Chain A
């Protein structure tokens, strides 16, 4: 080694290599995609969760401003390995990308009608669409706005196209309720009808929709209120005895009542667990309300992710005596089957189908995913 260092050729070679590499780096880092990737990579060296999240979304925000939604979402998919709460917060993160996209398009560029949504926008259970469309419909709550916007979504292969349209109408439900906050006062806090009646009336006027699309709007309305109950927002909460968990839902007519119970059961188990929520289901006297509750419990199992453990929990629940005593076993398995089709990779479905009871397996459960729940 000492003899090499004393050799003049070594130092010429070294200096030439340094110069060449420096020029190469300077050129590469001027390429926006490379620079953005390098920026994203460097975010992982921030130890604080908050700082790391802000770093990542700053990079994604810049990408959204300068490139396409598709490019930004591809960056977001890569960022999931850097973001600290990807296991439980994937949907919320994707929601935030939708928020940023809405802001870029409608605050920076209010005349924009750029509704181009690439396949990457389906990531994290279509969280991007939730974030984007709930704000769009919060600010544009009219019936024609909802129908025209969601109907104009780009075509594509099924089930992607079908789910996008459903998600758009679901986002409309979200936005309609959020829009009520501006119009109500503190006296209305906790009054579910003050928040829900006007949005539900708008939902009921949506025309030209398929049944699985039409049902999505009221589900979106109640989903927001259920989340407010979880967060103790606007006077809503999950406090009170189990027998009154669905008290407000029972004040609505049948379809809305069941949508309300379904969405509340999904969220309630984050506070009460499956057993606690099911205890509230058992108080419901009408069979259709009980079934809606059971289905909500099943869907709620997968709200923070889908894995075999959660599926096994669902199978145990469906096989339970409590569900059987009310004659809801079949409905429970149908819902679980839907969740299997919706949340698990294709390659895993057939294997997981084998976990269903033998008589149920004859239905080839993974093929049922196209049905509405």
Chain B
């Protein structure tokens, strides 16, 4: 009798691990809360006093991202990590953008790309390129 319970228990543990694994799919964290803007050729991302808006955005490959700010201060979008921007070097204007100007970037690489304001690195965002 105990062998049946033992087999059942082992089966349940295997099933449980599988359920936990699939229910906690890490790729969903990136998409979670993200604004889906696929299908648009241009997407505007604005740095506000509360941070980049939309903060997390899903776009198609080769979408044009237009970075601007409503803050009266220069800004500098740069790929993570701060301060070297090495994970996606092209996601970096290489200089501060004046408050009244914009920076245009074409997202050519698929992936999950975190970025930040190089001047105020606590302002962060994520671009998910699919």
Interaction A to B: yes
A17 at the B interface (CB under 8 A): yes
Interface size on B, as a range, is 35 or more
Q: How far is the CB of B117 from chain A (nearest CB, A)?
A: 10
Q: Is the CB of B123 within 8 A of A46?
A: no
Q: Is the CB of A21 within 8 A of B13?
A: yes
Q: Is the CB of B26 within 8 A of A102?
A: no
A100 at the B interface (CB under 8 A): yes
- Contact with B81, one of A45, A58, A96, A100 (Cβ below 8 angstroms): A96
Q: How far is the CA of A38 from the CA of B21 in the complex (A)?
A: 9
Q: Is the CB of B82 within 8 A of A92?
A: yes
Q: Which residue of A lies closest to B19 (CB)?
A: A25
A160: chain B residues within 8 A (beta carbon): none
Using known A-B contacts A14-B8, A16-B8, A181-B119, determine if residue A50 contacts B24 with beta carbons closer than 8 Å.
Answer: no
B104 at the A interface (CB under 8 A): no
Using known A-B contacts A10-B7, A135-B122, A181-B96, determine if residue A57 contacts B114 with beta carbons closer than 8 Å.
Answer: yes
**How would residues 10 to 27 of chain B score, 1 for a CB under 8 Å from any chain A CB and 0 otherwise?**
011101100111001111
B112 at the A interface (CB under 8 A): yes
Q: How far is the CB of B71 from chain A (nearest CB, A)?
A: 10
Q: Which residue of B lies closest to A16 (CB)?
A: B8
CB within 8 Å: A-B pair count: 136
**How would residues 89 to 120 of chain A score, 1 for a CB under 8 Å from any chain B CB and 0 otherwise?**
10011011001101100010000000000000
Q: Is the CB of A7 within 8 A of B4?
A: yes
Q: Which residue of B lies closest to A14 (CB)?
A: B8
A48 at the B interface (CB under 8 A): yes
Q: Is the CB of B20 within 8 A of A38?
A: yes
Q: How far is the CA of A45 from the CA of B32 in the complex (A)?
A: 17
Q: Is the CB of B30 within 8 A of A55?
A: yes
Q: How far is the CB of B48 from chain A (nearest CB, A)?
A: 10
A13 at the B interface (CB under 8 A): yes
**How would residues 205 to 244 of chain A score, 1 for a CB under 8 Å from any chain B CB and 0 otherwise?**
0000000000000000000000100011110000000000
A57: chain B residues within 8 A (beta carbon): 114
Q: Is the CB of B51 within 8 A of A43?
A: no
- B interface residues, Cβ below 8 angstroms from A: 1, 3-5, 7-9, 11-13, 15-16, 19-21, 24-27, 29-30, 32, 49-51, 73-74, 79-84, 87-88, 94, 96, 111-114, 116, 118-124, 126
Q: Please name 6 pairs of A and B residues whose Cβ atoms are closer than 8 Å in the assembled complex, sorted by A.
A: A13-B4, A13-B5, A17-B5, A58-B29, A103-B123, A107-B50
4 shortest interchain CB distances as A-B pairs: A14-B8, A51-B112, A103-B122, A17-B8
